[in-house]
Amino acid sequence: MKFRHLIFLIALISFPKLSLANELNETLLAIQKHYESVETFSAKFTQKAYVKMLGKSQTSEGTVLIKKPGKMRWVYKNPDPQLIVSNNKMLWFYAPEEGQVSQIPMDDVYSSNAPALFLSGKGKIAESFSATKIDEKNDEIILTLVPLEVDHSLTQLLLYANNKSFQITGASVYDKLGNRTEIRFKDIQINLEIPEKTFQFIKPPEAEWLDFTTTP
């Protein structure tokens, strides 16, 4: 009888862990599967950036258009107007108030930013992260992910998704310095036609050009 009780206790301890591991893996794969069916993505976004060293947060708002693979257009409307455009090979960052345009190879962006790789449709989240925790709040799933390899730019990623459709609704990125950036999407539309010219960048004539495509 004692032996049976022991087996039962072991089962009680072990089963929740196995069940949780299965749930984490299934949820991660469900989010990946849904995103693979999305060819274009458009939404309004709110971004909150917390800088630990300064002890301050800044909130920005704007719109985003994404077309797989690797084409993105982020328009920050306030408080500081900014434009980020990618055509899958090159990324341009334009800050009107500074009068500067930075040109960066997309490979450099992807190599240091796994969330960007996944969001643009050029990677698989399960190949870069391991799921460690799952929560549910209202109609959202909150999945806690940690990088499978040492990443100097982030320590943890929280992925938000609808608990029925598994559509991504936002993400929070934590880095080793204690900084946090959260982005949340609303008015999401998927698989709409987006013209290719949306991802073409035309340099403003008065802007200074900073080219990071070559190494001195």
Q: The domain that contains 47 carries what CATH number? A: 2.50.20.10
| 138 occurs within a structural domain | yes
Whether 172 and 38 have beta carbons less than 8 Å apart is answered as no
pLDDT at 144 over 70: yes
| Total domains present in the chain | 1
Structure token pair of residue 85: 């455009």
pLDDT for position 169: 93
| 4 occurs within a structural domain | no
Distance between CA atoms of residues 188 and 61, nearest Å: 15
Report the pLDDT averaged over residues 140-151.
86
| 1 occurs within a structural domain | no
| 94 occurs within a structural domain | yes
| 146 occurs within a structural domain | yes
pTM tops 0.95: no
Structural domain boundaries, residue 124: 11-211
pLDDT tens-digit readout, 33-88: 888 898 999 999 999 989 888 888 999 999 999 998 889 899 999 888 999 999 98
pLDDT for position 70: 85
| 54 occurs within a structural domain | yes
| 202 occurs within a structural domain | yes
| 140 occurs within a structural domain | yes
